[in-house]
């Protein structure tokens, strides 16, 4: 259960104050696939960074399973990132000198109750690519390793920042399907940030962001399967 | 006119960004040229004094000073050679890093129509400022401070007249060689980095092709190794040029420390009378060697961290603790340094055998285990100091920006 309450984030750049998030609130349950949509500069990535424990809000609270990470110090945030959150980036961020399997094992080595790396990699369809290095994998395959890494960590939260941004249409759709299945099969909260508003149809919950605020939050009783979503 | 103004702004910001590397190149040149020019002039100055005093005092034969002067003659080629080699090796690594930092900006400028020549010009300016200032300061400090100091200590006992030292031609020649070498390398590196279409430059450098290393064939051993070691070993063996540069730099600078320390101890033990004169020289050499050693290890580690900032940020996002991330960064340099030290110390020993053979005082038999322990301690202390200096930088890595765009 994720509860974001009145989050404000202000950056001090030189003498300027840049307001990235302005009193935003929403909730998400376990097993929910949440899509956060908004144009560039709406604060979506900032929100994700706060949820991922990479930064702290200027004011407000973030409850992840009743723990308020908004008040955490650096060490506590590291522990949070270690056990409770995982990230899928637009540009994969795999370790270039480790194989696909080793990349997942690296992430899982420090977790308390991880899933089996080999099984998760099979789940994302990379059974035959376990011993390939990132440079030997296509963009879609690399992203799948990244997703496997996140799933295997078995964290409460999986955060995705434009995961299909660097991929073609068909591959992107496959990736989104994987992420959706992960939330359902493993009962994880997946929060996906994108500027592609067509993706709202596949989500259980949609947060429309503009200028650092949640313009509207919609719950989708009947999300469309990704195969039927086109853009 | 306007384009010049913008270009100057770019240049100025470039210098700010690259300041640390410029300072390191400056210090490398400074230390080695200070040694080259001071030691290089010391023996001639002594000889002049000796000959003058003997000429004025019939029947006088200054045995001790002559021994000393010829001893200094012996070391005044080897030590400067070592110092200069280390400087060139490590400065080269710094240059490759320097030119890599703004790879994508340079690609951008080229795609906007700026000539490759002007970009070369920028780097020539940066490298020239650092290296030329370094050698000039080195020459000045060496010639005007170190040599007079050493001479006054040595000549006091024998009351040698202070005849002004000949111009440090040796120091000057070595300075010119170092500066010309570094500038030539700069030009080559910039042109090589600008090869190919601007589009490739704007993307980040493709990582070296992944592949197994030889070690992986040792099935059992490889399987037990934790990932951190697998990653480190693959890094070490894959980037071969960097491997050799690192090992050789540490090798030579530890050999230097060994020799400098040996000089002080052995001569103090074997010839207590000469201690007063040998001590200052070997102290200067030892201090310079240690400074160089610290600089070498600091520089190589710093470059390592800068190049790996993305991997470091990834580890942090995955929830790796500070100490685990620190280990990841320092493991590589630690392994390479230990390797370099293990070869460098015996090599230093070998050189001391040769040197003592030609010196009329002292002898290799006076070398005892102190030397080895002290040198190893100094080398490890350099690693420790580097760790302390770089720890803050390592953990100040801004997660959000390091992982965002592709470089």
Domain identity same for B172 and B254: no
> Does residue B317 sit at the A interface (CB-CB below 8 Å)?
yes
Chain B neighbors of A81, CB-CB under 8 A:
316-319
Q: Which of B206, B229, B247 is the endpoint of a domain?
A: B206
Q: Which residue of B has its CA nearest to A78?
A: B319
- Tell me how close the Cα of A202 comes to any Cα of chain B, in angstroms: 26
What pLDDT is stored for residue B311 in this prediction?
Answer: 87
Residues 115-144 in B contacting A (C-alpha not used; CB under 8 Å): none
Longest Cα separation, chain B? 82
| Number of Cβ pairs < 8 A linking chain A and chain B | 84
Could you tell me the residue range of the domain that residue B190 belongs to? 1-206
Domain ranges in chain A are 1-84+155-167+178-231, 94-154
DSSP strand pairing (A189-194 vs A33-37): parallel
Domain identity same for B78 and B19: yes
What pLDDT is stored for residue B407 in this prediction?
Answer: 43
Domain identity same for B147 and B191: yes
Chain A neighbors of B311, CB-CB under 8 A:
95-96
Percent of chain A with pLDDT over 70: 100
Angle at B90 between CA B23 and CA B260, to 5 degrees: 95
For residues B177 and B36, what is the distance between their CA atoms, to the nearest angstrom?
A: 12
Domain identity same for B133 and B253: no
CB contact under 8 Å between A99 and B400, yes or no, is no
Residue B186 falls within a domain, yes or no?
A: yes
Residue B123 falls within a domain, yes or no?
A: yes
Domain identity same for B259 and B188: no
What pLDDT is stored for residue B201 in this prediction?
Answer: 56
Is pLDDT above 50 for A98? Answer: yes
- Tell me how close the Cα of B233 comes to any Cα of chain A, in angstroms: 10
Chain B neighbors of A153, CB-CB under 8 A:
318
Backbone phi and psi for residue A161, each to the nearest 5 degrees, phi listed first: -105, 100
For residues B134 and B138, what is the distance between their CA atoms, to the nearest angstrom?
A: 6
Domain identity same for B280 and B392: yes
Residue B71 falls within a domain, yes or no?
A: yes
What pLDDT is stored for residue B205 in this prediction?
Answer: 54
User: Which residue in the block uniquely carries the two structure tokens 């320092």?
Assistant: B330
Is pLDDT above 90 for A196? Answer: no
Chain B neighbors of A105, CB-CB under 8 A:
227
Residue B100 falls within a domain, yes or no?
A: yes
What pLDDT is stored for residue A5 in this prediction?
Answer: 93
- Tell me how close the Cα of A228 comes to any Cα of chain B, in angstroms: 31
B130 closest CA partner among B55, B62, B28: B28
Mean pLDDT by 10 residues, chain B (407 residues): 71 83 95 91 88 88 83 83 90 90 81 83 92 96 91 82 83 94 94 71 54 68 76 79 84 87 76 73 86 89 86 92 87 88 91 79 74 87 87 79 61
pLDDT bucket at A144, cuts 50 / 70 / 90: very high
Residue B243 falls within a domain, yes or no?
A: yes
Residue B229 falls within a domain, yes or no?
A: no
A21-49 mean pLDDT? 91
pLDDT bucket at A10, cuts 50 / 70 / 90: very high
Domain identity same for B125 and B200: yes
CB contact under 8 Å between B324 and A110, yes or no, is yes
Residue B223 falls within a domain, yes or no?
A: no
Domain identity same for B85 and B188: yes
* Total tally of structural domains belonging to chain B: 2
CB contact under 8 Å between B319 and A110, yes or no, is yes
| Mutation for testing the A interface, residue in B203, B210, B238, B243 having most A CBs under 10 Å | B210
What does the mean pLDDT of chain A come to?
A: 91
| Mutation for testing the A interface, residue in B216, B319, B320, B327 having most A CBs under 10 Å | B319
Superfamily of domain A1-84+155-167+178-231: P-loop containing nucleotide triphosphate hydrolases (3.40.50.300)
Q: Which of B186, B206, B226 is the endpoint of a domain?
A: B206
């Amino acid at each position: 259960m994720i509860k974001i309450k009145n989050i404000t984030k202000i950056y001090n750049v030189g003498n300027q104050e840049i307001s990235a998030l302005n009193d935003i609130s929403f909730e998400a349950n376990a097993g929910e696939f949440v899509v956060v949509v908004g144009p560039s500069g709406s604060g979506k990535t900032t929100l994700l960074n706060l949820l991922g424990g990479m930064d702290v809000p200027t004011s407000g609270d973030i409850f992840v399973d009743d723990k308020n990470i908004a008040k955490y110090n650096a060490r506590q945030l590291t522990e949070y990132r270690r056990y409770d959150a995982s990230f899928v980036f637009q540009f994969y961020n795999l370790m270039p000198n480790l194989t696909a399997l080793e990349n997942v094992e690296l992430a899982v080595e420090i977790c308390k109750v991880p899933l089996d790396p080999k099984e998760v990699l099979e789940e994302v369809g990379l059974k035959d690519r376990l011993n390939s290095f990132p440079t030997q994998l296509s963009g879609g395959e690399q992203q799948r390793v990244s997703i496997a890494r996140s799933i295997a960590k078995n964290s409460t939260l999986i955060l995705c920042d434009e995961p299909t941004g660097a991929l073609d249409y068909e591959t992107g759709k496959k990736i989104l399907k994987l992420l959706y299945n992960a939330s359902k099969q493993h009962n994880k909260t997946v929060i996906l940030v994108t500027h592609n508003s067509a993706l709202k149809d596949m989500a259980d919950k949609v947060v429309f962001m503009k200028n650092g605020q949640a313009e509207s939050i919609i719950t989708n009783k009947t999300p469309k399967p990704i195969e039927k979503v086109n853009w | 006119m306007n384009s010049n103004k913008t270009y100057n702004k770019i240049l100025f910001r470039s210098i700010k960004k690259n300041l640390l590397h410029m300072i390191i190149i400056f210090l490398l040149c400074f230390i080695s040229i200070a040694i080259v020019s001071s030691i290089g002039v010391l023996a001639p100055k002594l000889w002049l004094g000796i000959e003058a005093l003997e000429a004025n005092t019939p029947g006088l034969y200054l045995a001790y000073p002559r021994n000393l002067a010829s001893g200094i003659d012996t070391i005044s080629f080897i030590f400067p050679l070592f110092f200069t080699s280390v400087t060139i090796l490590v400065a080269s690594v710094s240059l490759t890093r320097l030119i890599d930092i703004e790879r994508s900006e340079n690609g951008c400028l080229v795609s906007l129509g700026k000539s490759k020549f002007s970009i070369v010009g920028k780097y020539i300016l940066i490298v020239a400022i650092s290296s030329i200032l370094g050698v000039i300061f080195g020459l000045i400090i060496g010639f005007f401070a170190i040599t007079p100091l050493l001479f006054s200590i040595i000549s006091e006992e024998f009351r040698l007249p202070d005849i002004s030292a000949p111009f440090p031609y040796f120091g000057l020649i070595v300075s010119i060689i170092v500066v010309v070498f570094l500038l030539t390398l700069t030009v080559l590196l910039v042109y090589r980095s600008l090869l190919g279409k601007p589009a490739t430059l704007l993307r980040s450098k493709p990582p070296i092709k992944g592949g197994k290393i030889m070690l992986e064939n040792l099935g059992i051993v490889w399987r037990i190794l934790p990932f951190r070691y697998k990653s480190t070993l693959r890094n070490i063996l894959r980037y071969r040029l960097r491997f050799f540069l690192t090992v050789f730099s540490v090798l030579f600078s530890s050999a230097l420390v060994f020799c400098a320390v040996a000089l002080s101890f052995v001569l103090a033990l074997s010839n207590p009378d000469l201690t007063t004169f040998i001590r200052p020289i070997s102290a200067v050499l030892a201090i310079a060697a240690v400074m160089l050693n610290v600089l070498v290890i600091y520089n190589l580690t710093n470059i390592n961290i800068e190049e790996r900032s993305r991997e470091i940020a990834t580890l942090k996002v995955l929830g790796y603790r500070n100490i685990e991330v620190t280990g990841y960064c320092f493991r590589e340099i630690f392994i390479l340094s230990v390797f370099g030290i293990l070869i460098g110390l015996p090599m230093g020993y070998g050189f001391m055998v040769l040197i003592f053979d030609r010196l009329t005082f002292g002898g290799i038999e006076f070398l005892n285990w102190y030397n080895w322990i002290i040198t190893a301690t100094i080398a490890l202390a350099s690693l420790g100091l580097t760790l302390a200096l770089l720890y803050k930088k390592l953990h100040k890595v801004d997660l959000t920006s390091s992982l965002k765009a592709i470089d």
